[in-house]
Amino acid sequence: MKKICLLLLLTVFLILGACSSNDAATTTKGEETKQTATEDTKNNAVKQKEEDVGTAEQEETAANEDAYGPAENFLTEEEKKEGFKYRDDFGGTRDYGFGYNDEVGIDGTDNPLKPVKFGPVNMTIENVTVADIIPNSDTASMFDDRDRVRAVIMTVKIENTSDQDVSFFPDSSVMTTDSGEQVDADSWMSNDTGGDMLGKVKKEGQIWYVLKDEKADIKKVKFVIDPPYLTDSMDDLGQQKRLEFEILDPKAAKKKDGQ
């Protein structure tokens, strides 16, 4: 499972002024003026430092804004309480749940993952994550300008172990949920995991499925993946796969993973 974390970094700059004296001989009055100016500079610097530091909460907010954009202004207090964190590349995000399937080796143990085999083509599912997203202005159009979305994201590695050219399109697969939805993979959000694989090549990336109901309480999802085929002859390599995953909330997932 991949966790999203925020890097907190705060740097405070103090700019100290400098006073210069005339080239003429320094008088007692000049020394007093210089001393007063120096003290004023130090006092201003201390005052500025106190204003810059602020409370621990203010420091954290400032750091988040520097690293990830206007977090304080983007998310409401209620959304923060719901567990949303700000990400500059998406907007507000939080983990809804994680998928488990013994057949592919995602079972809460450290045992190796088990590739899904289609003849000479191996597809390894590294993880299945369900995420909630509050799109920002840069990503809103990717989600049809919806205020909030719930998406299932499958991360895969694919390998053609043969010398033959094959065509495989897992990024055109279909997902169903126990809440009654049938969703096509989102080609806009998904990486280039499908297409022709010429000889012994590998591909990897994410396949996205954006749910129509952002409030759907899903406990199971099923991926329906058509087999690859030989590019020249169009002959199928293996059978269609239907892989069902149990979705556990983050707390239950940590317990299953022994954390």
Q: Which range among 26-35, 92-101, 182-191, 227-236 shows the weakest confidence by mean pLDDT?
A: 26-35
Distance CA 116, CA 223 (A): 12
Q: Which of 166, 218, 225 is nearest to 197 (CA)?
A: 166
Distance CA 122, CA 99 (A): 20
CB atoms within 10 A of CB 208: 21
Confidence of residue 61 (pLDDT cuts 50, 70, 90): very low
Residue with more model confidence, 47 or 140: 140
Q: What is the pLDDT of residue 16?
A: 29
pTM of the model: 0.72
Distance CA 185, CA 213 (A): 15
Q: What is the pLDDT of residue 70?
A: 53
Kindly give, in sequence order, each residue whose CB lies less than 8 Å from that of residue 138, ignoring residues fewer than 6 positions away: 89
Residue 242 in contact with residue 223, Cβ under 8 Å? yes
Confidence of residue 221 (pLDDT cuts 50, 70, 90): very high
Residues 149-197 have pLDDT tens digits of: 999 999 999 999 999 999 999 999 999 999 999 999 998 889 889 999 9
Confidence of residue 31 (pLDDT cuts 50, 70, 90): very low
Q: What is the pLDDT of residue 187?
A: 84
Kindly give, in sequence order, each residue whose CB lies less than 8 Å from that of residue 70, ignoring residues fewer than 6 positions away: 86
CB atoms within 10 A of CB 28: 7
Distance CA 71, CA 79 (A): 11
pLDDT of 52 strictly over 70? no
CB atoms within 10 A of CB 40: 12
pLDDT of 45 strictly over 60? no
Q: What percent of the chain has pLDDT over 70?
A: 72
Cα dihedral 75→76→77→83 (10° resolution): -50
Distance CA 72, CA 85 (A): 10
Place of tokens 């499925």: 209
Q: Which of 225, 243, 149, 147 is nearest to 189 (CA)?
A: 149
Which three-class secondary structure state does DSSP give residue 121? strand
pLDDT of 13 strictly over 80? no
Mean pLDDT of the chain: 80
Q: Which amino acid is at 106?
A: I
Q: What is the pLDDT of residue 10?
A: 26
Distance CA 50, CA 96 (A): 40
Q: Which of 155, 143, 156, 153 is nearest to 90 (CA)?
A: 143
8-state DSSP, 75: S
pLDDT of 111 strictly over 90? yes
Residues 216-228 have a mean pLDDT of: 97
Residue with more model confidence, 53 or 206: 206
Q: What is the pLDDT of residue 73?
A: 76
Residues 82-107 have a mean pLDDT of: 94
